Structure 1
Amino acid sequence: MSGEDQRLSNVIRAFDKANITETIKLSFNPQVLLEVTFPQPLGKPITLERAGVQLTINETAGPPVFSIVGNRICPGPFVVILVDPDALTPQNPAISQIRHFLAGNFVYDASPTAKYRIPLTNTTPAVTEFVRPRPFVGLDAHRYIFLLFEQSAAFNEQTLFNPASPRAYFNISSFAATVGLGQPIGGTFMWVGPDPSTASL
């Protein structure tokens, strides 16, 4: 097994352990690794180099940037979606899924130095701009799931959501089926809980 295959297997195991595929009702057999990087106001950016890391609210203020790791599997464009399936709480996900980000028309960075870790650039405004995670203080961390899809021909014509659409009660599997995205080709996730400095507030 190659190093890339091993990392893909690790992502699949992390998704299974966190019960993500059952929660979002999508199959997950990734073909590429999706890396998500959060810039930080001070210090180095934080990259989700493995699925299932835990970060704080402040560390995920974003907006994030995305890269594909591995061989180019198709010319693109791609769609990236971020959902929180644990709102209001993991024990009572009454308003899930929250759509934290929805954007299409991601393409490969044309830089000649982008060989194996290939940045993705969004060439059009997002349907839903990124909003940072904000799980309730004093309660359990939430899962925040990033999924990468090959963009369908119907995506740019969709009218289900626009920048003014409510973010709550999103259904990623229904949306993917309706606009012909199929199953995700990559993904990762993180746990996000309150910052330690606010835990007693």
Structure 2
Amino acid sequence: MPLITSDQATEAALRQDGIIPDVLDSFHPRTMLMVSYGNNKEVALGNKLSVQETQHPPQVSFQADSPSDLYTLIMTDPDAPSRKDPQMREYRHWVVANISGTSDFQPANVGQGAVVSPYMGPAPPAGSGPHRYIFLLYKQTPSTNVSALTSPLAPQRQGFKAKQFSSQAHLELVGANYFFAENA
């Protein structure tokens, strides 16, 4: 039986739940992106969390290539208003740039990254089925367009495209994780 690595498991889960190709092109994850809403509410490649337990920004951790590296984190929902009718794809829930590679990212700590778009917890319409809430971790490269990361984003959150945003900012996708939530 072949050994399956965590990066292969991540990519397989992203494909299985349609995140590749709905939101991402195929990529090779280089770090495990760990996301926790506290009290054993871990995001685990497609597990289910309640809307109520995900209303506050989570703690995020990952293994950086180097302590001097900077990262950008995006949380997006490609299923707005529903997976069957994603006419508002994607809904931008959170964007934080300039996260240092030296420590875990805890939103409550001042100075840990620049909030480009404040956290907005999941709020899927009642009866719209499960929504995929995706965390994407990008490494900022020497060619990163810092002004694209620090410029205000459009006030409307719907219609955001993580792939387009990361391309314009010259970011390199290194990790992903996601969960499902719904309002029945």
| Range class of TM-score, shorter chain | 0.7 to 0.9
Flag as ranges the 4+ runs of structure 1 deviating above 3 A. Answer: 152-155
Distance 1:155 1:128, change over 3 A: farther
Larger radius of gyration: 1
- The residue type paired with residue 11 of structure 2 is I
Size of the aligned set, in residue pairs, is 177
Deviation by residue 1:3-34 (Cα, 9 ceiling, x = unmatched): 9x622222111101011111014232101100
SS of alignment partner, residue 87 of structure 2: coil
Q: Distance in 2 between matches of 1:172 and 1:163?
A: 12
Asked if structure 2 preserves the Cα contact closer than 8 Å seen for 1:129 and 1:163, the reply is no
SS of alignment partner, residue 177 of structure 1: helix
Distance 1:155 1:103, change over 3 A: farther
Asked if structure 2 preserves the Cα contact closer than 8 Å seen for 1:109 and 1:120, the reply is no
- The residue type paired with residue 7 of structure 2 is L
Asked if structure 2 preserves the Cα contact closer than 8 Å seen for 1:81 and 1:148, the reply is yes
Match of 1:34 in 2: 33
1:65 shift after superposition: 1.3
Q: Distance in 2 between matches of 1:106 and 1:160?
A: 13
- The residue type paired with residue 47 of structure 1 is E
Matches within 5 A, 1:140-159: 140-152=129-141, 153-158=143-148
Match of 2:73 in 1: 80
1:161 shift after superposition: 5.1
- The residue type paired with residue 46 of structure 1 is K
Distance 1:8 1:159, change over 3 A: closer
Please point out which of 53, 59, 62 is paired with 1:59: 53
Distance 1:123 1:160, change over 3 A: closer
Q: In angstroms, what is the RMSD of aligned CA positions?
A: 2.3
Match of 1:94 in 2: 87
Distance 1:21 1:52, change over 3 A: same
Q: Distance in 1 between matches of 2:167 and 2:135?
A: 17
SS of alignment partner, residue 21 of structure 1: helix
**TM-score, scaled relative to structure 1:** 0.79
Task: Give me the identity figure in percent.
Answer: 24
Runs (5+) with no aligned partner, structure 2: none
Match of 1:108 in 2: 101
Asked if structure 1 preserves the Cα contact closer than 8 Å seen for 2:116 and 2:150, the reply is no
Q: Distance in 2 between matches of 1:189 and 1:165?
A: 24
Q: Distance in 1 between matches of 2:49 and 2:9?
A: 19
